[in-house]
Chains A and B, each alone.
Chain A
Amino acid sequence: MINKDLSVTFLGVKFPNPFCLSSSPVGNCYDMCKKAYETGWGGVVFKTIGPKSYFIDEVSPRFDKLNKESTPFIGFKNMEQIAEHSLEENLSDLRRLKKEFPNQVLIASIMGNDEETWEDLARKVEEAGADMIEMNLSCPQMTSHAMGSDVGTNPELCKKYCQAVKRGSSLPMMAKMTPNITDMVPVALACLEGGADGIAAINTIKSICNIDLEKKIGLPIVDGKSAISGYSGKAVKPVALRFIQQMRQDPRLKDLQISGIGGIETWEDAAEFILVGSTTLQVTTSIMQYGYRIVEDMKNGLMHYMEEQHVDSLHELIGLANKNIIPAENLNRDYIVRPTFDLDKCVNCGRCYISCYDGAHQAIVWDAEKRTPSLNKDKCVGCLLCSLVCPVGAISKGEITIKPNRKTKIEDIKL
Chain B
Amino acid sequence: MKPKYVEELEQGFTPLTVCEEASRCLLCLDAPCSKACPAGTDPGKFIRSVRFRNFKGAAETVRENNALGAICARVCPTEKYCQLGCSRSGIDKPIDIGKIQRYITDFEESIGMDILRVENEDNGKSIGIVGSGPSALQASVELRKLGYKVVVYEKEEKLGGTLRLIPEYRLPDRIIDVEIERIKKIGVEFKTKVNVGKDISLEEIKNRHDAIIIAAGFSKGKCLDLFKNNDNVEIAFDFLKRIKECKGKEKVSNNILVIGGGDVAMDVNTTLKLLGCKNVTDVVYEEFCEFKASKKELESAQRLGVSIIDGYVPVEVNNKEVVFKHRVLDACLKIIADKIILAVGQYADVENLNLKLVKGEVNSKDVYLTDDPKVFVAGDLAHSPYDKTVVGGVRTGKEVAHLIDSKLGGKK
Which residues from chain A sit less than 8 Å from chain B, CB to CB?
69-70, 346-351, 353-354, 366, 368, 371, 391-392
Contact = CB atoms under 8 A, between A and B. Distances in A.
A348 B87 contact: yes
B22 A69 contact: yes
B357 interface: no
Contacts of A354: 29
Contacts of B30: 350, 368, 371
Contact of B19 (A70, A346, A348, A366): A70
A349 B22 contact: no
B26 interface: yes
Q: Which 7 A-B pairs have the closest CB atoms?
A: A350-B29, A347-B90, A349-B26, A70-B19, A70-B20, A69-B23, A349-B28
A366 B51 CA distance: 24
- Secondary structure at the B interface, as helix, strand, loop or mixed, is helix
Contacts of A366: 29
Contacts of A347: 26, 87-91
B313 interface: no
B22 A351 contact: no
A391 B26 CA distance: 7
Contacts of B88: 347
Nearest to A391: B26
A349 B29 contact: yes
B358 interface: no
Interface of B: 16, 19-20, 22-23, 26-30, 32, 51, 87-91
A69 B17 CA distance: 11
28 contacts: A69-B22, A69-B23, A70-B20, A70-B23, A347-B26, A347-B87, A347-B88, A347-B90, A347-B91, A348-B28, A348-B32, A348-B90, A349-B27, A349-B28, A349-B87, A350-B29, A351-B26, A351-B27, A351-B28, A351-B29, A353-B29, A368-B30, A371-B30, A371-B32, A391-B26, A391-B91, A392-B90, A392-B91
Contacts of B51: 69
A351 B28 CA distance: 6
Most buried by B among A70, A348, A354, A392: A70
Contacts of B91: 347, 391-392
A69 B16 CA distance: 9
A273 B22 CA distance: 33
A233 B51 CA distance: 23
A299 to B, nearest CB: 30
A212 to B, nearest CB: 15
A367 to B, nearest CB: 11
Contacts of B22: 69
A346 B26 CA distance: 12
Contacts of B89: 347
A75 B32 CA distance: 35
A70 B90 contact: no
A350 B20 contact: no
A349 B32 CA distance: 9
B226 to A, nearest CB: 51
A368 B22 CA distance: 24
Most buried by A among B88, B89, B90: B90
A350 B87 CA distance: 10
Nearest to B16: A70
A353 B87 CA distance: 15
B99 to A, nearest CB: 15
Contacts of B28: 348-351
Contacts of A348: 28, 32, 87, 90
Given A347-B87, A348-B28, A371-B30, 4 more contacts: A347-B90, A348-B32, A348-B87, A349-B87
A184 B161 CA distance: 73
Most buried by A among B28, B32, B89: B28
A353 B90 CA distance: 18
Nearest to A69: B23
A281 to B, nearest CB: 30
Nearest to B25: A349
Nearest to A394: B90
A350 B20 CA distance: 21
Contacts of A368: 30
B80 to A, nearest CB: 20
B56 to A, nearest CB: 13
A368 B30 CA distance: 8
B268 to A, nearest CB: 39
A353 B31 CA distance: 13
Contacts of B23: 69-70
Nearest to A67: B19
Nearest to A353: B29
A346 B90 CA distance: 8
A371 B85 CA distance: 12
Nearest to B18: A70
A353 B32 CA distance: 15
Nearest to B28: A349
A168 to B, nearest CB: 51
A366 B30 CA distance: 11
B29 A69 contact: no
A83 B19 CA distance: 38
